[in-house]
């Protein structure tokens, strides 16, 4: 799946996100870079509403996996400062594309 395909169904992804307390969604990784293969997962960086739970984030990931038919990795923005590999974090921030 490529970024254009994700952006085409972004309205549905955003509806799912709102139901689960997620206010912002960004695509990063191979899909955002344009080098995804048929076996690539979809990496999503999310900003959660105050009071939203990790269960909501998990539910969002599950529903988006069903929608896309692909594995989805969901990363909350709040964990970025805790990641020790700063180059990895910089790459996420540089390549992230908002939905």
pLDDT tens for the 99 residues of the chain, in order: 999 999 999 999 999 999 999 999 999 999 999 999 989 999 999 999 998 888 999 999 999 999 999 999 999 999 999 999 999 999 999 999 999
Question: Tokens 């539910």 belong to which residue?
Answer: 59
Task: Kindly give, in sequence order, each residue whose CB lies less than 8 Å from that of residue 4, ignoring residues fewer than 6 positions away.
Answer: none
Distance CA 65, CA 70 (A): 5
Q: Which pLDDT belongs to residue 54?
A: 86
Task: Kindly give, in sequence order, each residue whose CB lies less than 8 Å from that of residue 53, ignoring residues fewer than 6 positions away.
Answer: 21
Q: Which pLDDT belongs to residue 2?
A: 95
The CATH number fitting domain 3-98, selected from 3.40.50.620, 3.30.460.10, 1.10.3720.10, 3.40.50.80: 3.30.460.10
């Amino acid at each position: 799946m490529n970024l254009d395909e994700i952006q085409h169904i972004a309205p549905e992804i955003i509806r799912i996100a709102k139901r689960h307390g997620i206010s912002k969604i960004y695509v990063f990784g191979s899909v955002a870079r344009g080098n995804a293969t048929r076996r690539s997962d979809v990496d999503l960086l999310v900003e959660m509403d105050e009071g939203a739970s990790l269960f909501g984030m998990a539910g969002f990931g599950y529903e988006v996996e069903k929608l896309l038919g692909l594995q989805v990795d969901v990363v909350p923005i709040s964990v970025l400062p805790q990641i020790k590999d700063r180059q990895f974090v910089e790459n996420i921030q540089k390549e992230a594309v908002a939905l």
